[in-house]
């Protein structure tokens, strides 16, 4: 065996090497980098049901629903339980029992259908030996959530297919959980599955009646391109759900005693001043109730303070009334939504530099919070409150701020720093006129800028609003003192203000780097 031993040894070495290499390359479930994250259509459902039972052995399954809908020729009962016109969203089961059972349900049913289809000679899905074709992990999808805007809602509420239930005047209860509009319990569904069940069952029913119906495939609602093609109704009448046009928002403190939740009489310290609120205007400006009443779909349209109390409670995620109204980063809060409006290019030139801490001067608080005496009628009657609010709002300024254009210098020559460059010629009047143009017919801008010379403070900042604001050099010296304050030096102040405003407003000319366009080069 003398000659064979070296050979055997080499083979042994080779086997060991291959084993190590194989092990290394398998690399203990290495990154999924090699599997391409394809972009799947809006019908992608990531089947990850077993995650609630523990760690997964295999990556999640990519399931393309529309493909399968087509394959079963629209017969939902092939996979789902159909009772009457309601389709349960779960696959071949009513509830999630345990991991082993669910896995068996999926594997047995899916693979059976695939095998049957293959046997029938048609193109089919992966078989039992192609685990990772299905278990391919998460993928990017083009699906976006559907937003029910006013036009779409109107098309539903005015549809001939949605007649009121017998004895009802309105057809709200066809979708929403209430009988009378005044009850305003406009909740729709608890979760995604319920939503789908509700929408799809109606669409199926209507479709069966051979009438034009809503989409039955995922992409029909969830694909942004498809949605862009929806018919848009122009002037949608206001949704009447018993809401008032104006309301007076008053802060309350829940009392532990039997006393009702009302503000105390004027002799004791009050909570913050009330805010008259133009509900009608806000309805008009927003797409649907959920923009502000953010849980409308599950909880119905309820007052903010029901969950967001003064001290905060679990239902409101411990977010207090103050935070709910003022949090600058939340679109559902008053300040947050207004701050977003400030981000529009025509506003951003001034407003970006004012910062977004949500904390402004006392004067800006007073824009919303009005001092009124807490008369007993106010506290008791909602109607009285609403009328008060209506009255307060109607005396407000709604017209655009008035600027005496001729009092504004046409050209301002800025020569204080002229060195490498000649004096800059600033077209002051033109700039102000442009800014005013951006505010035209904007009632919010008109109201918040109603103080005289408020608009001037956009550039002439950190000083009392005046027709003759102080020169920039009054506060900005040649060299900045960063230890004392955050004021930049004069050159920086000019450039940051001018170039900053241009870039925020998206003004291309003059370009930031085109120095000579603003001040000519000294020869």
Partner 1 sequence: MSHHTTPSKTLWTPANILTAVILAIGLILTVKRFTMGLGSVTNLTDDNPWGIWIGFDLLCGVALAAGGYTTSAAVYLFGMKKYHSAVRPAITTAFLGYAFVVFALLYDLGRYYRLPYPLTIYPGPTSFLFEVGLCVALYLTVLAIEFSPALWETLRWKKLRFWAHSLTLVLTIFGVVLSTLHQSSLGGLYLLAPSKLHPLWYSPYLALFFFISSIPAGLSMVIFEGRLSHKFLHHKMDQTHIDEAPGVTLGFAKAAAVVLFTYFNLKWIGVALDNNWHYLSTGWGTWFLVEMLGFVLLPCLMYAVAAREKNQKLAFWASIVTVLGIVLNRLNISLVAFNWQLPTELRYVPSWEEIMITVFIVTLEITVLRICLNKLPILHEHPEFKGAH
Partner 2 sequence: MKRRKFIGMLAGAGACMAASTATAGGTHHFTGYPESFGVLFDSTKCIGCRKCEAACNKVNELPAQPVPFDDLTVLDTRRRTHHDTFTVVNKYSVNDKPVYRKQQCNHCLEPACASACFVGAFVKDKTGAVSHDASKCVGCRYCMIACPFEIPTYEYHDPITPRVRKCTMCQPRIEEGKLPGCVEECPKGALVFGRREDLLNIARERIRKHPNVYINHIYGEREMGGTSWVYISGVPFEKIGMREDLGVTAAPELTSGALSLVPAIVGLWPMFLTGAYALTKRREKIAEEEQHHAVAEAVAEAQAEAAKKTKAAMDKAEREKQAAVDREVKKALKEAEEARLKAQTPADPSEQ
List 46's β-bridge partners, or say none: 62
What is the DSSP track for 102-148? Answer: HHHHHHHHHHHHHHHHHHTTS-----TT-HHHH-----EE-B-----
3-state secondary structure string across 196-253: HHHHHHHHHHHHHCCCCCCCCCHHHHHEHHHHHCCCCCCCCCCCCCCCCCEEEECCCC
Among 3, 7, 31, 479, binds partner 1 (CB under 8 A): 31
Residue 492 near which of partner 2, partner 1, none (CB within 5-8 Å, type-dependent): partner 2
Among 1, 3, 4, 27, binds partner 1 (CB under 8 A): 27
30 is a site residue for partner 1 (CB under 8 A):
yes
What is the H or E stretch that residue 40 is in?
strand 39-40
510 is a site residue for partner 2 (CB under 8 A):
no
Residue 479 near which of partner 1, partner 2, none (CB within 5-8 Å, type-dependent): partner 2
Among 483, 508, 509, 523, binds partner 2 (CB under 8 A): 483
Residue 21 near which of partner 2, partner 1, none (CB within 5-8 Å, type-dependent): partner 1
Q: What angle do CA 291, 383, 447 make, to 5 degrees?
A: 50
Among 26, 258, 474, 513, binds partner 2 (CB under 8 A): 513
Among 1, 3, 7, 28, binds partner 1 (CB under 8 A): 28
Site for partner 1 in 34-63 (CB under 8 A): 34
The b/e string for 162-179 (b: 16+ C-beta within 10 A; e otherwise) is eeeeeeeebbbbbbbebe
11 is a site residue for partner 1 (CB under 8 A):
no
What is the H or E stretch that residue 87 is in?
strand 86-87
CA dist., res. 195 & res. 223, Å (int): 17
* Residue 254 Cα distances to 293, 313, 379, 392, angstroms: 21, 11, 14, 27
17 is a site residue for partner 1 (CB under 8 A):
yes
In whole angstroms, the minimum distance from the beta carbon of 12 to partner 1 comes to 9
CA dist., res. 120 & res. 374, Å (int): 79
In whole angstroms, the minimum distance from the beta carbon of 235 to partner 1 comes to 57
Among 24, 127, 237, 470, binds partner 1 (CB under 8 A): 24
Pick 5 or 122: Cβ nearer partner 1: 5
Among 6, 121, 167, 464, binds partner 1 (CB under 8 A): 6
Pattern 166-205, binding to partner 1, x per CB under 8 A? ----------------------------------------
364 is a site residue for partner 2 (CB under 8 A):
no
CA dist., res. 326 & res. 328, Å (int): 6
9 is a site residue for partner 1 (CB under 8 A):
yes
Pick 34 or 83: Cβ nearer partner 1: 34
What is the H or E stretch that residue 342 is in?
helix 334-342
In whole angstroms, the minimum distance from the beta carbon of 330 to partner 2 comes to 12
The footprint of partner 1 on this chain (CB under 8 A) covers a number of residues equal to 14
The footprint of partner 2 on this chain (CB under 8 A) covers a number of residues equal to 25
CA dist., res. 267 & res. 250, Å (int): 17
Among 138, 207, 469, 488, binds partner 2 (CB under 8 A): 488
357 is a site residue for partner 2 (CB under 8 A):
yes
Number of H-type helices and E-type strands within the chain: 21, 10
Among 502, 164, 224, which Cα is nearest to 349's? 502
What is the H or E stretch that residue 322 is in?
helix 321-326
| Region near partner 2 per CB under 8 A, out of 64-72, 316-324, 403-411, 475-483 | 475-483
Task: Retrieve residue 42's tokens.
Answer: 């809006």
CA atoms within 13 A on the CB side of 177: 14
| Region near partner 1 per CB under 8 A, out of 19-27, 172-180, 214-222, 433-441 | 19-27
What is the H or E stretch that residue 276 is in?
strand 275-278
Among 92, 153, 264, 491, binds partner 2 (CB under 8 A): 491
479 is a site residue for partner 2 (CB under 8 A):
yes
416 is a site residue for partner 2 (CB under 8 A):
no
Asked if residue 439 lies in contact with residue 345, where contact means CB atoms within 8 angstroms, the answer is: no
Among 13, 37, 177, 253, binds partner 1 (CB under 8 A): 13
Pick 230 or 353: Cβ nearer partner 2: 353
Task: Retrieve residue 171's tokens.
Answer: 């057809």
Residue 24 near which of partner 2, partner 1, none (CB within 5-8 Å, type-dependent): partner 1
Among 25, 210, 311, 479, binds partner 1 (CB under 8 A): 25
Pick 431 or 518: Cβ nearer partner 2: 518
Pick 34 or 486: Cβ nearer partner 1: 34
* Residue 455 Cα distances to 113, 410, 430, 440, angstroms: 69, 17, 14, 13
| Region near partner 2 per CB under 8 A, out of 43-51, 143-151, 176-184, 508-516 | 508-516
CA dist., res. 231 & res. 402, Å (int): 41
| Residues contributing to the site for partner 2 (CB under 8 A) | 328-329, 343, 352, 355-357, 479-480, 482-483, 486, 488-489, 491-493, 495-496, 499-500, 503, 512-513, 515
| Residues contributing to the site for partner 1 (CB under 8 A) | 6, 9, 13, 17, 20-21, 24-28, 30-31, 34
């Amino acid at each position: 065996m003398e000659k064979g031993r070296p050979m055997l040894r080499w083979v042994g070495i080779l086997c060991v090497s291959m084993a190590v290499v194989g092990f290394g390359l398998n690399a203990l479930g290495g990154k999924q980098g090699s599997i391409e994250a394809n972009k799947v259509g809006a019908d992608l459902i990531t089947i990850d049901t077993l995650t609630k039972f523990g760690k997964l052995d295999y990556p999640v399954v990519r399931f393309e629903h529309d493909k399968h809908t087509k394959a079963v020729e629209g017969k939902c009962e092939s996979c789902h339980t159909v009772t009457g016109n309601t389709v349960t969203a779960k696959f071949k089961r009513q509830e999630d029992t345990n991991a082993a059972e669910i896995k068996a349900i999926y594997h047995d049913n899916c693979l059976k259908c695939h095998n049957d289809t293959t046997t029938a000679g048609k193109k089919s899905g992966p078989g039992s030996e192609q685990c990772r074709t299905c278990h391919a992990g998460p993928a990017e999808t083009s699906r976006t959530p559907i937003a029910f805007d006013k036009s779409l809602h109107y098309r539903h509420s005015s549809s001939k297919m949605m007649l009121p239930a017998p004895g009802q005047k309105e057809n709200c209860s066809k979708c929403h959980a209430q009988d009378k509009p005044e009850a305003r319990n406009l909740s729709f569904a608890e979760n995604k599955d319920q939503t789908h069940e509700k929408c799809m069952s109606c669409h199926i029913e209507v479709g069966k009646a051979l009438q034009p119906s809503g989409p039955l495939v995922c992409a029909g609602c969830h694909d942004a391109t498809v949605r862009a093609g929806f018919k848009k109704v122009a002037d949608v009448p206001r949704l009447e759900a018993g809401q008032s046009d104006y309301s007076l928002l008053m802060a309350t403190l829940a009392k532990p005693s039997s006393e009702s939740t009302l503000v105390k009489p004027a002799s004791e310290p009050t909570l913050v001043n009330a805010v008259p609120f133009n509900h009608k205007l806000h309805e008009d400006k927003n797409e649907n109730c959920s923009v502000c009443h953010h849980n409308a779909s599950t909880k119905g349209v309820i007052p903010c303070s029901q969950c967001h109390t003064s001290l905060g409670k679990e239902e409101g995620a411990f977010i207090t009334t103050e935070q709910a109204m003022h949090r600058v980063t939340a679109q559902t809060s008053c300040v947050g939504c207004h701050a977003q409006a400030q981000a529009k290019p025509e506003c951003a030139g001034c407003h970006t530099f004012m910062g977004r801490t949500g904390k402004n001067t006392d004067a800006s608080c007073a824009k919303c919070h009005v001092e009124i005496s807490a008369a007993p009628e106010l506290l008791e009657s909602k109607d009285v409150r609403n009328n008060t609010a209506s009255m307060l709002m109607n005396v407000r300024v709604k017209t655009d701020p008035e600027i005496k254009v001729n009092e504004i210098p046409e050209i301002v020559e800025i020569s204080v720093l002229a060195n490498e460059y000649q004096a800059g010629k600033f077209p002051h009047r033109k700039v102000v006129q442009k800014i005013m143009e951006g505010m035209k017919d904007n009632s919010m801008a008109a109201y918040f800028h109603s103080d005289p010379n408020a608009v001037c403070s956009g550039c002439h900042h950190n000083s009392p609003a005046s027709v003759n604001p102080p020169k920039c050099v009054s506060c900005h010296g040649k060299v900045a003192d960063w230890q004392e304050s955050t004021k930049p030096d004069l050159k920086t102040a000019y450039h940051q203000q001018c170039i900053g405003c241009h870039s925020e407003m998206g003004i291309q000319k003059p370009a930031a780097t085109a120095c000579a366009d603003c001040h000519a080069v000294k020869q």
